[in-house]
Amino acid sequence: MLILETERLLFRQHVIDDLDAFCAMEADADFRRYVGGRPRTREEAEKRFMLGLEPVKDRLSMWATVYKPTGEYIGRCGIYPHFKPDGGAYPGEASFGLYIAPAYWGRGLATEAGKAFIEFGFKELALNRIVTMIDTRHDASVHLIKKLGFELERTEEGEWRSFYHFELKNPGNN
């Protein structure tokens, strides 16, 4: 299922052929440094990957991200339910996630994906708000999120890491 397309990217349901590239990203220490800490084992990565094969009902998910010029799987991007502490989802809200393989960093692909999912969330899904959480040490992601229009909501100090919580409100819902 193709969910979205930009000039250089396709966003679609994960397929089993994406497994090796997904697992390689999850094992990459540079990639995992800001998105969970330690690299994942192959077994851990495969378990996580299998969740992405489940059918999606409302188009809120992390989608396989394919670089159109080469047809390569380069990560996963999307907006997914913004969960409350009790596990339920906040109505009219989504969380934004963006995971692109390090070999594709610095090409503007994250900005391209971010703009596409913000437009998708606000125009097609009529969301009121999109949120995201970023490790305070990840300057490139903080720069990107601000460039996309997100505003800092709060900072969460953790035992091992600190996170910025950003939000972007739908400008059409004033």
The Cα–Cα gap between 108 and 13 comes to: 22
The yes-or-no verdict on residue 20 having pLDDT over 80 is yes
Q: What is the pLDDT of residue 36?
A: 67
Structural fold of domain 2-173: Aminopeptidase (3.40.630)
The pLDDT tens digits for 105-164 are: 899 999 999 999 999 999 999 999 999 998 888 888 999 999 999 999 999 887 777 889
Q: Are 19 and 43 in contact (CB under 8 A)?
A: no
The pLDDT tens digits for 80-118 are: 999 988 988 999 999 999 999 889 989 999 999 999 999
pTM for this predicted structure: 0.89
